[in-house]
Structure 1
């Protein structure tokens, strides 16, 4: 994904136009490797995201909402100490590298002016965010501490002298006066080879951008120097583009000849579109790895148990045969002689088919008969027990599959609720007590809120605890309840007793979208008044039964879902 030096250059140009001269009004750290500075500039709040994530490191203004952790980190507290109300004066780039510097001016405790640098280094797993006292060239703190044992050349710890990343022996494409690219295009006429040579000679050019520049240099009949300069100038006037294909990527270049492109109004909006799904999914996988593991293990255990129970149930089908053999032995006891190992007797239940019966030569005729009756009674007793266990195990599997679906559809902020539920149900150990002997209760998340095109409020539960509270406590008796039919998914409530047809369809789309059938084309959705919903005694969280429902068929559309969220 080409957040390379060229894209960094373009992003800095965009940020300069929006936040230079602004002041920091809020600082938060929603995730371990990501900081958000809210910059008040031009009468607007701009949430500036600085991400040192190993896979998605970037800088941008983001509109994706985040929840703050209950306890701020040390790095967050350091940033708040020095940067709150600080004024941003400049944004610069280290050559054409993926290193950006945000210059701030503020005042220390004595009232003296204090120049600060906030640096973000976008370098894959080595990405970092550093706060630097520019006057003393000392590091105040970093989001990732790098000690001498990890990097002898460059220590990134509070109090250490700041050293810039090692300079690359490559040309800066924006300041190159030698026009090395003209020499390369003569030597390497092949597009792919030329692209690789551009990367070897110029700093900060990803493969996708190198191929784009190679194409511009291969335009026959044009002034190649003009093509090169015009391509680079697009960083100051970008065309934010997502290029689809085997491997989708984002760019600021204008792709005229590629039909599979999606444009955005700004580079920041582009990154929100590109990263939101993938980054959210990865965060859920990382932060919820324990939950995924617990569900996977318990599903495997219960599916294996169900298989064995069904095998046992199959074996109980032989119970009647054992009873018949015992009765026949009792009836024809006089024909059984001690020492026999098998006997064939007429079957008065089926006169055409005599029955062969194995008998033990160590037992008397009557003991052989009793042996068959005992086996019959044992299997008969097993039927009731096994039937009950199969029902319990199927319900357990259904519940675990429901949780699995919720994890697949979850946002990071939904995970604490699911964890609490698994603790309550005994799949995870309960939260430890604090020093005072009390267990700290996590505040349950709120259902998501949407509005139909008719302006009617619609609520969507994102997990079982939210579903129960939404349906059984928050909803009114005449409100409309919706759920994907016979499919794991969310409870949806229309907060209106007589919604229009359009609202019903839109709420059904929400129920289909927040279900296992999200990617399906025609999803059945049941709807019924809340008064017809009830929860059986002892039922698992999220489980309800209902009657008198009607069914709609809808196709979930993500764009339509987003519109309802924004209204």
Structure 2
């Protein structure tokens, strides 16, 4: 069975909620809060107790209903909240009015200055909350809309308030139709109720179709319950997922009775539903952010493990590379011009069989020999370190697989939070987008500077500055004293940092060459055949006082020669 769609907070639900809110009329607005950027809560003292009326212009969760608890407040009052407190706090709520049968509500508030209207427009991404002063002019809004954003209906201060242009002329208000008009509509609608009735959602149109299948008397009974507000609120919950699909003013024919759970009020029903929806939305957003981050981190570790495996395997061939270099020096003089292979006797075997050695025709005999000697040195170097690094990365990869499994199987946001904290603590999120864009430090760990993050074949993090300001930031704010710092020799280019965890001596040559190649590729010499790159520890690099961005002096350097365009 397909997952059922959520029931919308439509005009019918809004009308039923507002009928339950009528006891608030005549009450005093004694406090106003703004717990979320697009949500306000009016605390109304009526009938000898406090009531909390929540209004949200959130594109995904636009709604208006009472809530059972006073919400927390914003640490610093936003401008819209300040305006509401200045103009209508302490006022009397004189009327709660739904405009037609649309998702627009007008809250009338009597103050010493006159009557203000708080206009609530619950229309998806166009939702808004607008304070209109006694002169009919816009005093403030939770969302300002410039003419560039909407030429049809900009929302600007001191302009006359007008209803949204989305209201369709000619549609009938179902609350004002007589029995005869309902019969005529039943005979001609042919199931297309939205073409005749104002503010009808697709869900309620389908409900009318289901009701009308029982004949006109069945339809009229449904209308009577609507006219006289004889609500029987229910929360509809999917028993397979245990998620609330929505709420409705009375039991619906579109879901089995076992899915529908009675509530004392529709306000409390929708409070339950939206609490769950928001909680699940946050959990899904966190899960959908964690999963690609963890997968990317796991893939990086797997690639690093493959590189280390190749390096360890090459270590087994060190003697062979050494032999190739020696044979090239011994028999290279026999090579024909443009030869691609050398045939030479293998003197390490008693019968001295002839072996074939690949040759690069663009290099000299000495360069070809040196290439094999370098391969032999690299194969022998850091074998113990590589094996240890392989063990560390294997443990991380296994931990990442476990974290992925836990993330996929998590049922609540509480289940995901420890995974998030572990991912942050272990650096699994450094190569990925941040989880909370609202906070600057988490949105960008480099505070907006253009710094790219790479993972070396041995699993070390390599940072590359993309401009002079980023280079300065890398040098002065990011790099630690025992991190490796690289830069092209006698040229302009990026600063490159290898994070060493305070163990620079354990960084394999392969990682140094990887970082040096990045430095060459991000320099003015990127198109050269061979580029020399200096490297030294960060503690030997300094920026002179008053020097331009990106300028640095360094000592204790060593030099690597790399090919920027080599695969």
Report which stretch shifted further, 308-317 or 145-154.
Answer: 145-154
Give the whole-Å Cα distance in 2 for the aligned partners of 1:160 and 1:423: 35
Give the whole-Å Cα distance in 2 for the aligned partners of 1:171 and 1:107: 37
CA contact (8 A) 2:108 2:116 kept: yes
User: How far does residue 157 in structure 1 lie from its aligned partner after superposition?
Assistant: 2.5
SS at match of 1:310: helix
CA contact (8 A) 2:194 2:202 kept: yes
Taking structure 1 as reference, are residues 24 and 184 closer, same or farther at Cα in structure 2, changes over 3 Å only?
A: closer
Residue in structure 2 matched with residue 440 of structure 1 by the alignment: none
Residue in structure 1 matched with residue 480 of structure 2 by the alignment: none
The equivalent position to 1:211 in structure 2, one of 197, 202, 206, is: 206
Superposed CA deviations along residues 87-116 of structure 1, whole A, max 9, x for unmatched, are 2222111111111122222324xxxxx222
Does 2:251 match 1:254? Answer: yes
CA contact (8 A) 2:318 2:377 kept: no
Taking structure 1 as reference, are residues 48 and 423 closer, same or farther at Cα in structure 2, changes over 3 Å only?
A: closer
SS at match of 1:40: strand
User: How far does residue 347 in structure 1 lie from its aligned partner after superposition?
Assistant: 6.3
User: How far does residue 271 in structure 1 lie from its aligned partner after superposition?
Assistant: 2.1
What's the TM-score, normalizing by structure 2?
0.58
Give the whole-Å Cα distance in 1 for the aligned partners of 2:384 and 2:104: 70
SS at match of 1:24: strand
User: How far does residue 44 in structure 1 lie from its aligned partner after superposition?
Assistant: 3.7
Residue in structure 1 matched with residue 42 of structure 2 by the alignment: 37
Does 2:87 match 1:91? Answer: no
Give the whole-Å Cα distance in 2 for the aligned partners of 1:178 and 1:426: 59
User: How far does residue 329 in structure 1 lie from its aligned partner after superposition?
Assistant: 11
User: How far does residue 385 in structure 1 lie from its aligned partner after superposition?
Assistant: 4.4
Residue in structure 1 matched with residue 313 of structure 2 by the alignment: 317
User: How far does residue 117 in structure 1 lie from its aligned partner after superposition?
Assistant: 1.6
Gaps in structure 2 of 5+ consecutive residues:
1-6, 336-341, 425-434, 450-567
SS at match of 2:381: helix
Taking structure 1 as reference, are residues 355 and 61 closer, same or farther at Cα in structure 2, changes over 3 Å only?
A: farther
Residue in structure 2 matched with residue 144 of structure 1 by the alignment: 143
The equivalent position to 1:8 in structure 2, one of 3, 14, 29, is: 14
Gaps in structure 1 of 5+ consecutive residues:
109-113, 433-567
Give the whole-Å Cα distance in 2 for the aligned partners of 1:49 and 1:412: 28
Taking structure 1 as reference, are residues 43 and 357 closer, same or farther at Cα in structure 2, changes over 3 Å only?
A: farther
Taking structure 1 as reference, are residues 425 and 355 closer, same or farther at Cα in structure 2, changes over 3 Å only?
A: farther
The equivalent position to 2:445 in structure 1, one of 402, 423, 428, is: 428
Alignment of 1:235-314 (within 5 A): 235-242=229-236, 244=238, 248-255=245-252, 258-259=256-257, 261-263=259-261, 264-280=263-279, 282=281, 292=289, 300=296, 303-304=299-300, 306-314=302-310
User: How far does residue 254 in structure 1 lie from its aligned partner after superposition?
Assistant: 0.9
Does 2:167 match 1:171? Answer: no
Report which stretch shifted further, 66-75 or 300-309.
Answer: 300-309
Alignment of 1:109-188 (within 5 A): 114-134=114-134, 136-148=135-147, 150-151=149-150, 154-166=153-165, 168-177=169-178, 179-187=180-188
CA contact (8 A) 1:284 1:411 kept: no
Taking structure 1 as reference, are residues 100 and 140 closer, same or farther at Cα in structure 2, changes over 3 Å only?
A: same
Task: Give the aligned length.
Answer: 409
Residue in structure 2 matched with residue 102 of structure 1 by the alignment: 107
Give the whole-Å Cα distance in 2 for the aligned partners of 1:133 and 1:31: 24
SS at match of 1:15: helix
Residue in structure 1 matched with residue 75 of structure 2 by the alignment: 70
Residue in structure 1 matched with residue 496 of structure 2 by the alignment: none
Taking structure 1 as reference, are residues 224 and 234 closer, same or farther at Cα in structure 2, changes over 3 Å only?
A: same
Taking structure 1 as reference, are residues 260 and 390 closer, same or farther at Cα in structure 2, changes over 3 Å only?
A: farther
Taking structure 1 as reference, are residues 122 and 316 closer, same or farther at Cα in structure 2, changes over 3 Å only?
A: same
Residue in structure 2 matched with residue 493 of structure 1 by the alignment: none
Give the whole-Å Cα distance in 1 for the aligned partners of 2:51 and 2:184: 44
User: How far does residue 355 in structure 1 lie from its aligned partner after superposition?
Assistant: 8.2
User: How far does residue 128 in structure 1 lie from its aligned partner after superposition?
Assistant: 1.1
CA contact (8 A) 2:128 2:142 kept: yes
Taking structure 1 as reference, are residues 399 and 326 closer, same or farther at Cα in structure 2, changes over 3 Å only?
A: closer
What's the TM-score, normalizing by structure 1?
0.58
CA contact (8 A) 2:172 2:198 kept: yes
Report which stretch shifted further, 228-237 or 268-277.
Answer: 228-237
Give the whole-Å Cα distance in 2 for the aligned partners of 1:33 and 1:426: 21
User: How far does residue 4 in structure 1 lie from its aligned partner after superposition?
Assistant: 2.1
Report which stretch shifted further, 48-57 or 162-171.
Answer: 162-171
Give the whole-Å Cα distance in 1 for the aligned partners of 2:442 and 2:198: 55
Residue in structure 1 matched with residue 456 of structure 2 by the alignment: none
Does 2:228 match 1:229? Answer: no
User: How far does residue 34 in structure 1 lie from its aligned partner after superposition?
Assistant: 1.4
Residue in structure 2 matched with residue 537 of structure 1 by the alignment: none
User: How far does residue 7 in structure 1 lie from its aligned partner after superposition?
Assistant: 1.3
CA contact (8 A) 1:336 1:343 kept: no
